[in-house]
Chain A
Amino acid sequence: MRLTTRTAVAATAAALLLSSCALSGTSTETRDPLDAEGEITGEVSLQTWALKPRFTAYVEGVIAAFEDEYPGTSVTWLDQPGEGYAEKVLSQATAGELPDVTNLPPDMALPLAREGVLLDLDQVEDDLAGTYVEGGLGAYAFAGLEGTYGYPWYLTTDLNYWNADMLAAGGLDAADPPTDLDSLIDQARTLKDATGAYLMSRKPGMNDLVSAGIPVLSDDGDEFVFNSPEAVALVQRYVDAYAEGLLPQDVLTDAYLGNSELFTKGEAAWSTGGGNFIAGVLENNPSLEGKIVPSPYMGITPMYVQGVSVPADSGNLPAALALARFLTDAQNQEAFAELVPGIFPSTVASQDNPELAESDGTAEGDAKAIAFTGLPDAEVLQPVEVTEAMSTVFDQQVAAAIAGQVPAQQALDTAVERCNRLLAD
């Protein structure tokens, strides 16, 4: 009995001791900038996100060119699958095993930067502003944190796509598409009355509020403020449109791709998408060939940024920084943009490249040109503080308002309260 008690006490103590390890978190050491100035040689790791197998040749080409440029370096390339990337990065960061150069979108970089996991590039770079466009760099400068925590890699943006045949059947012209929410709802009504088809097929997200000039988060980033009268009025427009039958039931529980899926199926005449959206649609529904017409985004154009970051505890900082610069330089980014229509370089030197702004006359070419010319005014719309859970809460409450279950004001108040709670966690 005595042995049993002693064993139980020891086991409990061990468990609590081990549990307490979980409380310690990650280390937040400050890196000496001089560490970055050593010789560029040795092994360095690069982690990308879902680039294999489509872009294997491109990435291997960049790596080979880097190793040629810096003899004595050896790059180990890790490509992670699209699903579960955040969880993978999280486990790497907590284990202190984040690769030397890691592809991190701003929303993943923010929590890592806050915990001191990522290197502040302002400490080691002199001319970031002269090398990368403002919107790209700004995406890696976070409220409440000094510094820049990622090299902008490639940029994408959204634009509108219209099904010309469906519009024509309703007496509408894809060459003269809606340019704001009022005309969108008007044309949705016209199309529904004439053919019974839907033009609109998504409910507003936080992006739509920001795009309409409505603040979502307070300036200091401490609380959500999307229950303003302006936000309520915008949601109410959708409530009324749904009540009028201008939106399908799917909008109440749609997933992220719900809108584009309906467009691809030919069940909705409007969708938003990136510069290479048409290729994806035609791959799944070739019958839409020649029927898709692009036009600029309504409101403030959204910008999506991908970048690479370097962990503060990188074992080979000079080589890591050299690789990050090399991967994101104008030449390599332009080559990548040529390979993937619809993505654009984040380098200042590339912004005058005439090829990026020219269309070859096809709808795909028009989309690429519209997307590129929209970039200078584009902004990262959704605050990086917004997590998946917060987006879900917002969607749930907006759906309840659109379904007529609760008034728009009450829905947004509830969403703000719950999102603030998640923000405070």
Chain B
Amino acid sequence: MSTVTTTTGTVRTHAWYAPWLLCLPAVVFLLAFNLWPSVNGVFLAFTNVKPLSGGEIVGLANFERMLSDAQLATALLNSIVYMLVCVPFLLLVPLALALLVEKKIPGIAFFRTAFYTPVVASAVVVALMWGWMLDDRGVINGMAKSLGFITESIPFLTDRWLILFSAISLTIWKGLGYYMIIYLSALGGVGRELHEAAAVDGASAWRRFWTVTVPGVRNTMLLVSVLITVSALRVFSELFILTNGTGGVGGANVSVVMLIQMYARGFNGNLGYASALSILLFLITLGPLLLIARINKKAG
């Protein structure tokens, strides 16, 4: 066992427990704030526990309730539409942006910064700003009216689908820079010599994109699609703020996370049903992830 002598004493560096000791803070943190809540959540899903009054085990009652929950059906539809629209946009547009700003030309740093700026802005602040812009008397409706394009305000924040697509646009706008940076990093790993060899062989820019660039960033695309899928299915801030926390007219714009928040909050929170919804969301998130992994395996 090697030792190091210091001015304050002796530190044993190769004791069998040294790595465990070093990992201990992180392990304790993970157990307390990650693993334990997850295990507890699974358990609570089979109970009717309330914050103050406790409760009892109710078997599958919370899951049966889901079958007749019209709001849940709406929330699932919204989340799935969110995912289906967000994934292709955030998979391809950031790649195109990354290809554009990858070039080393004067002033390109400005564009890289500009594209990335929305990422560092608070989601809540950004959603509030979008809310003001899209409002009945907001900038967009005001300009469209003053230019004579419309006579009545476009109901961006009151129409069932316009709210959803406004929120999706916000998510895409805010996510472009983040995924662009990931692609930029991946593009750095695509050998320049491959592009040069393809060019020498007479390949067009389009063909080089499909035969050199895309295979080079395929794993990154997989990672990005996983990240987008998970975040799209768990959307909350955008819809919550654009609907002023109301979930939209008739509650048509709730997301699954909004429902979980609604049921879990307050003195009368139904922790059992909220936990069951969390498990459902987890399983739904798992589905597309497994599908993507399978596609990747086949393609590999």
Footprint of B on A, CB under 8 Å? 15-16, 18-20, 22-26, 86-87, 90, 93-94, 108, 110-112, 114-115, 117, 248-250, 252-255, 258, 267, 387-389, 392-393, 395-397, 399-400, 403, 405-406, 411, 418, 422, 425
Q: Is the contact region of chain A dominated by helix, strand, or loop, or is it mixed?
A: helix
Question: Is B249 interfacial (CB-CB < 8 Å)?
Answer: yes
Task: Please choose the segment from B153-161, B205-213, B228-236 that sits at the chain A interface, where 4 or more of its residues have CB less than 8 A away.
Answer: B153-161
Question: CA separation between A24 and B56, bound complex, in Å?
Answer: 9
CB distance from B139 to the nearest CB of A (A): 15
From B44, B48, B51, name the one whose CB has the most chain A CB atoms within 10 angstroms. Answer: B51
Which residues on B sit within 8 Å (CB–CB) of A255? 244-246
Q: A267-B137, A389-B263 are in contact. Are A23 and B54 (CB under 8 A)?
A: yes
Between-chain CB contacts (< 8 Å), 23 pairs: A15-B39, A16-B43, A23-B54, A90-B52, A90-B267, A93-B52, A94-B51, A108-B267, A110-B267, A249-B136, A252-B158, A252-B249, A253-B157, A388-B265, A392-B245, A392-B262, A395-B246, A396-B247, A396-B249, A399-B246, A405-B250, A425-B263, A425-B268
Question: Does B116 sit at the interface, judged by CB under 8 A?
Answer: no
Residues of A with C-beta under 8 A to B54: 22-26
CB distance from A269 to the nearest CB of B (A): 16
Interface-central residue, A19, A93, A387, A393, by most chain B CB under 10 Å: A19
Q: B66 CB to closest chain A CB, in angstroms?
A: 13
- Interface size bracket, B side: 35 or more
The answer to whether A253 touches B158 (Cβ under 8 A) is yes
Docked-complex contact A15 and B268, CB < 8 angstroms: no
- Complex contact B244–A18 (CB within 8 A): no
Count chain B CB atoms within 10 A of each CB in A111, A249, A250, A399 and give the residue with the most.
A249
Which residues of the partner chain B approach A399 to less than 8 Å between Cβ atoms? 246, 249-250
Q: Give B252 Cβ to nearest chain A Cβ, in Å.
A: 8
B residues less than 8 Å from A94 (CB atoms): 51-52
The residue in chain B whose Cβ has the minimal distance to the Cβ of A258 is: B244
Cross-chain contact of B44 among A19, A111, A252, A403 (Cβ < 8 A)? A19
Chain A residues near B153: list those with CB within 8 A.
249
CA A395 to CA B247, docked complex, whole Å: 10
Number of A-B contacts (CB under 8 A): 129
Q: Would B251 and A396 count as touching, CB distance under 8 A?
A: yes
Instruction: Tell me the smallest distance from the CB of A408 to a CB of chain B, in Å.
Output: 13
Residues of B contacting A422 with CB < 8 Å? 268, 270
In the docked arrangement, what's the CA distance between A422 and B44, Å? 18
Instruction: Please give me the residue from chain A that is nearest to B242 by CB atom.
Output: A253
Q: Which of B28-58 contact A (CB under 8 A)?
A: 36, 39-40, 43-44, 47-57
Decide if A396 touches B39 in the complex (CB within 8 Å).
no
Among B40, B135, B136, B246, point to the contact of A19 (Cβ < 8 A). Answer: B40
A400 in contact with B247 given A16-B43, A19-B39, A90-B267 (CB within 8 Å): no
Once the chains are docked, how many angstroms separate the CA of A387 from the CA of B267?
9
Name B154's closest neighbour in chain A (CB-CB).
Answer: A249
